[in-house]
Structure 1
Amino acid sequence: MFLVATGRHFVALDRIALQDKQHLIEEILRNAHSAEDARWRLGEALGYHHGLYALVKDAQGELVFQSKGFPPDAQSTSAKPAMGTGPFGIWKRGGSIYHTLRFEATPAYSAANAPATLRVLIATDTDHHAQFLQDLRRDLALYVAAAIVVCGLLSWLAARQGLAPLHEMRSRAAAVTSQKLNGRMPVEAVPVEMADLAQELNRMLDRLQEDFQRLTDFSSDLAHELRTPISNLLTQTQVALTTKRDATTYRDILASNAEEFQRLARMVADMLFLAKTERGVDLPHKERFSARQDSLALLEFYEAVAEEKRIRLRLEGDGDIEGDRLMFRRALSNLLSNALRHTPEAGTITVCIAGTAQSTVVSVENTGPDIDPKRLPRLFDRFYRADPTRAHPDAEGSGLGLAITRAIAEAHGGQVTVTSSHGHTCFALVFPHHATHA
């Protein structure tokens, strides 16, 4: 478009130049005293214009004036109109193109009764315009090619610089292994547009590291927990096979083995339950029930054990829970059995139910020694025991009861908390109303 517009501009300039020369020729002819005078004046005025040619003839075709170098075949060559307008035209000769202007003029020396009309043809060479357009086209091509190369280079540099943070993040991500999970993305060293991505990746790595550490601890704890009953079973069986024994002895050995198998079965069942809740499951039997009624039934079940240790059981408050009744009973049973193991003789266990507009809170509080505040956050971890020495055989369990209790509370969209101070330890289960498990 630029070259086309430039070409049109040159055509307009040539038209203006030809019109100026028309006015000049007409002025010369008006002031000439004779044909010789007109010829001399035209030669002086037009002889020094490079690329401009003029041809003047009278009505009979006699030559009055012809510019030096005027093409000899111009008179016999028809010029077609330029730009589609009147006297202006385009004349082509070989590889050259001329813009032409034809007009008639009456000289001053012609007789008044018989005016002599002269026919004038003016032509201007357009080679300099064509050369300019050719040079302009070449220069534009060079500039465009250079601009493409420069823009491509700058784009490559910009892309390389812009993607440098991603390469850094890729390198750090590639360095993360199961033995090295502490690598993090450089949030401060990346552009603002990538900061959110780096933060999300760091949070993902935090979760992975936490889950991996939990899985590692769980594998270690599980191996430790399974080793004891399996070792007991293996030892008792090997001892029984060393010598021949009576039926009563074999029966006692089998009974002892059955107890160990039951412990293993409970542990496996508890682990399957925890795995199911961690994957996120819907409550199997969701209903609305009275927390007081189910709590009272559990207290009656544990009443014999409490009387043996002279522990007083109390129930206070009332409220409704929307959830799975059996899962609630299991969670509360875990808390009650845990309280019975750690409450000294003549102590008290209180189950308190408090209902609010948002939730129902069921708490189990027992008297006894305070739990070390440093151990409170880990009470709900799998296989964790507040008494690491396990000095009480009757209190030894699998260490999964409180972990299951927390899983049940979270399955209902709630939570479980614990406090221990001034001789009272309290576990609280929070069950939101109209809660759905995601």
Structure 2
Amino acid sequence: MTLTARLTVLYTLVSATVLLGLGALVAWSTSAHFVELDRDYLQDKAQLIQRTVDETPDPVELSAKLNDLLNSHHGLFIAISRGDELLFGSKTIIFPNDFDTSGAMNQPKDWVDGELQLRGISTEISKVAGSRDTASSTKPTRLKVALDTQHHAHFMQVLRDQLIVYVLAATLLSGFLGWWAARSGLAPLRIMKERALKVTAHKLDQRMPIEAVPVEMADLASSLNTMLERLELDFSKLTDFSSDIAHELRTPISNLLTQTQVSLSQGRDPDTYREILASNAEEFQRLARMVSDMLFLAKTDHGIQLPNRENVALEDEVVSLLDFYDAVAEEKQVRMQLVGSATVAGDRLMIRRAVSNLLSNALRHAHHGTDVELIIDSQHDGISLCVMNTGDQINASDLPRLFDRFYRVDKARSHTSPDGTGLGLAITKSIMLAHGGSALASSTSGSVRFCLKFPYRPAVL
């Protein structure tokens, strides 16, 4: 069942239950009111008969007065008896055998006699004057008064029929109103559905109408918009990544293909073939590094666990890297300096790779004859390792994307070094995320700074 149908059925059932309960309450209250009225009427007639008996000692006169009373009150029946002897009354109706006890003054008794529906009471009265002295004279004299309630029964039947018709009609109307309310209330969902159907791989800019939906659905619309924004961003990154990887792979493959075709076009001496093979080997190494880096990044997309977690002295790792890059720095006449020390908890090889990426990037872009500074600092929010070099300023619009895959500030994609694959900073960021930290970049006039932020972690014992 659809949600609209479920809400309609639920609302209809609730309405029917309430209406049935209300109808039953009305019918019961009306019936109880009639019982109370009849009881008061019968008690009043019983008291009237008692006074008549007390005030009329003559049996003949008493019988005449009681007959006049019966004739003036249609549907009223009286019986005065002592034991099994009927002193006065009509034999047209039969009072129940247990009527003397069950039809008490305060609680009338109902029964059916032929086509009559009767309600009566029974009470003990004073001895009727002039009654015969028989064996039952010692027994008490009882008065039985009954009333025909056929008119009440007819009224109750009409009332019940009307209540049934009203409950059915009101239930149907409530069901229709419930359907209309559910359909109107869920209209924003249909609008959101139509918007969602318009979302395609080439049209991810659709958003849910937060202002046009009720407050209860605003959070859902906002969450869907956030999801669509993430999808649009991720799809854009994936598209750029596909374009970038095609471009990055095209260059070495084109070089390999060109050199191979040229070498095959005519015979060469062994030294020439060695040079071509050496050149091809460099391109193969570049392709191998690129594929390895891409595989590492693919793993980080699904979350990676630190292979080995240990205490890592950052200054020791930096000193080792400074020795490794000393030849490169000497070639560019760049001076490298280290300031500060700290210990972090993490994987030694991964941290070393992240720092190496920043240091090689700084040496590649540093101006000749300048300094590259590495600063280790303990701050209130964690430990930072920053690499600073003097070089061309990076535009503020480029800073947020420096850690994207294959992103280069140089739009022409000119390679200042054959070693770069465009994945080093992206790998650095992934390593820091695996350590619960972050990688940041900033640039001022003539200075570029890359920082690694490590959170405070308990030392590994």
Which of the five TM-score ranges fits, normalised by the shorter chain?
Answer: 0.7 to 0.9
| TM-aligned CA distance change 1:18 to 1:359, over 3 Å | closer
Aligned to 1:354: 377
Once the two structures are overlaid, the 10-residue window that deviates more, 339-348 or 40-49, is 40-49
Higher relative contact order (CA 8 A, sep 6+): 2
String of CA shifts for 1:378-405, please: whole Å, max 9, x gaps. Answer: 2222112222334554367211111112
The letter of the residue matching 1:225 is: E
Aligned to 2:234: 211
Alpha-carbon contact 2:103-2:121 (below 8 Å) kept: no
| TM-aligned CA distance change 1:213 to 1:54, over 3 Å | same
Q: Among 454, 457, 461, which residue is 1:431 paired with?
A: 454
Q: Among 395, 405, 409, which residue is 1:382 paired with?
A: 405
Listed as ranges, the matches of 1:173-184 within 5 Å are: 173-184=196-207
Listed as ranges, the matches of 1:189-200 within 5 Å are: 189-200=212-223
| TM-aligned CA distance change 1:319 to 1:126, over 3 Å | same
Aligned to 2:292: 269
CA distance in 1, matches of 2:366, 2:87: 139
Q: Secondary structure at the match of 2:102?
A: coil
The letter of the residue matching 1:130 is: A
The letter of the residue matching 1:98 is: L
Aligned to 1:84: 102
Q: Among 111, 134, 138, which residue is 2:161 paired with?
A: 138
* 1:14 equivalent in alignment to 2:38: yes
Q: Among 23, 28, 42, which residue is 2:66 paired with?
A: 42
Displacement of 1:32 in angstroms is 4.0
The letter of the residue matching 2:112 is: K
Displacement of 1:19 in angstroms is 2.7
The letter of the residue matching 2:37 is: L
CA distance in 2, matches of 1:360, 1:17: 98
Aligned to 1:28: 52
Task: State the superposition RMSD in angstroms.
Answer: 3.2
Listed as ranges, the matches of 1:111-130 within 5 Å are: 121-130=144-153
Displacement of 1:226 in angstroms is 0.8
CA distance in 2, matches of 1:32, 1:44: 14
The letter of the residue matching 1:234 is: L
Displacement of 1:12 in angstroms is 4.3
Q: Among 48, 51, 56, which residue is 2:75 paired with?
A: 51
Q: Secondary structure at the match of 2:186?
A: helix
CA distance in 2, matches of 1:97, 1:395: 113
| TM-aligned CA distance change 1:393 to 1:51, over 3 Å | same
String of CA shifts for 1:89-139, please: whole Å, max 9, x gaps. Answer: 555322322234555665567799xx9x98765331121222122122222
CA distance in 2, matches of 1:143, 1:53: 37
CA distance in 2, matches of 1:91, 1:372: 103
The letter of the residue matching 2:357 is: N
Alpha-carbon contact 2:79-2:86 (below 8 Å) kept: no
* TM-score of the two chains, using structure 2 as the length reference: 0.83
CA distance in 1, matches of 2:380, 2:49: 108
Q: Secondary structure at the match of 2:182?
A: helix
Alpha-carbon contact 2:375-2:387 (below 8 Å) kept: yes
CA distance in 2, matches of 1:60, 1:271: 114
CA distance in 1, matches of 2:130, 2:263: 155
Q: Secondary structure at the match of 1:183?
A: coil
Displacement of 1:212 in angstroms is 0.8
Aligned to 1:157: 180
Q: Among 430, 433, 442, which residue is 1:419 paired with?
A: 442
CA distance in 2, matches of 1:45, 1:429: 113
Once the two structures are overlaid, the 10-residue window that deviates more, 82-91 or 196-205, is 82-91
CA distance in 2, matches of 1:142, 1:329: 85
Alpha-carbon contact 2:59-2:129 (below 8 Å) kept: no
| TM-aligned CA distance change 1:141 to 1:83, over 3 Å | farther
* 1:93 equivalent in alignment to 2:113: yes
| TM-aligned CA distance change 1:296 to 1:107, over 3 Å | closer
Displacement of 1:52 in angstroms is 1.2
Displacement of 1:79 in angstroms is 4.4
Alpha-carbon contact 1:309-1:345 (below 8 Å) kept: yes
| TM-aligned CA distance change 1:393 to 1:85, over 3 Å | same
Q: Gaps (5+ residues) in structure 2?
A: 1-23
Aligned to 1:404: 427
* TM-score of the two chains, using structure 1 as the length reference: 0.87
| TM-aligned CA distance change 1:57 to 1:348, over 3 Å | closer
CA distance in 1, matches of 2:377, 2:47: 113
Q: Secondary structure at the match of 1:50?
A: coil
Displacement of 1:407 in angstroms is 1.6
Displacement of 1:152 in angstroms is 1.8
String of CA shifts for 1:31-58, please: whole Å, max 9, x gaps. Answer: 4474453344334333121211335689
CA distance in 2, matches of 1:426, 1:59: 121
Alpha-carbon contact 2:252-2:283 (below 8 Å) kept: yes
Aligned to 1:246: 269
The letter of the residue matching 2:333 is: R
Q: Secondary structure at the match of 1:425?
A: strand
| TM-aligned CA distance change 1:21 to 1:334, over 3 Å | same
Displacement of 1:300 in angstroms is 0.9
CA distance in 2, matches of 1:36, 1:261: 140
Length, aligned pairs only: 428
CA distance in 2, matches of 1:231, 1:58: 131
* 1:318 equivalent in alignment to 2:338: no
CA distance in 2, matches of 1:110, 1:81: 23
Alpha-carbon contact 1:59-1:118 (below 8 Å) kept: yes
The letter of the residue matching 1:352 is: I
| TM-aligned CA distance change 1:325 to 1:107, over 3 Å | closer
Aligned to 2:392: 369
Alpha-carbon contact 2:120-2:144 (below 8 Å) kept: yes
